[in-house]
Amino acid sequence: MQGYIARDDLAKRIIISLRGTQSFPNVLVDAMAFMSPTGVIANCTSCRIHSGFYMAWQAVERTIKRAFQAQLRAFPDYQVLITGHSLGAAVAALLGLSYEMRGEDPVVITFGQPRVGNPAFAEHINTVLVDKGKLIRVTHGNDPVVHVPWQAWGFKHHGVLDPS
């Protein structure tokens, strides 16, 4: 995964931006569309998520931990904004959920996000982020990425824009 941590001093924001699928290893992550075991999402015992997205999220969180924490310590009054496209959007949603559960109060905006988890996960992230206006998922109906992984495999979109 590739991404950036940036700071907008005028708007008082720390921004984490994650890029979508751009390489063969990213394609392999996308293809790992089997459900994780339960217990990988804090406070949601029945949540299951896409295994590839889980692995990517964990790797990103470990990689950016020091730099992100340094920014938070240096600028504690700044808003945390997390954004991503496609694969990066799936990881942004998971990262935002993780940070929210730790009290870091992020706002998440995703673009072209695939389905991330099962209905229990969708309900959980709706309760924790979407219903509070802290996660906005921007999609286009003709974008094939937003229609995978398939609902028949047990995946469900979070957010109010999904007709399923």
Read off the CATH number of the domain in which 41 is found: 3.40.50.1820
Q: Which domain covers residue 14, as residue numbers?
A: 3-153
Does the residue 91 lie in any domain?
Answer: yes
Does the residue 53 lie in any domain?
Answer: yes
Q: Tally the domains of the chain.
A: 1
Which of 18, 54, 20 is CA-nearest to residue 34? 54
What are the residue ranges of helices labelled H in 32-144?
Answer: 51-74, 87-101, 119-128
Does the residue 49 lie in any domain?
Answer: yes
Does the residue 158 lie in any domain?
Answer: no
Which tokens go with 104? Answer: 């870091």
Does the residue 163 lie in any domain?
Answer: no
Does the residue 160 lie in any domain?
Answer: no
pLDDT means per 10 residues in the chain (164 residues)? 96 98 94 95 97 97 97 98 98 98 96 97 97 95 92 91 49
Rounded Cα distance, 118 and 106, in Å: 23
**What pLDDT does 1 receive?**
87
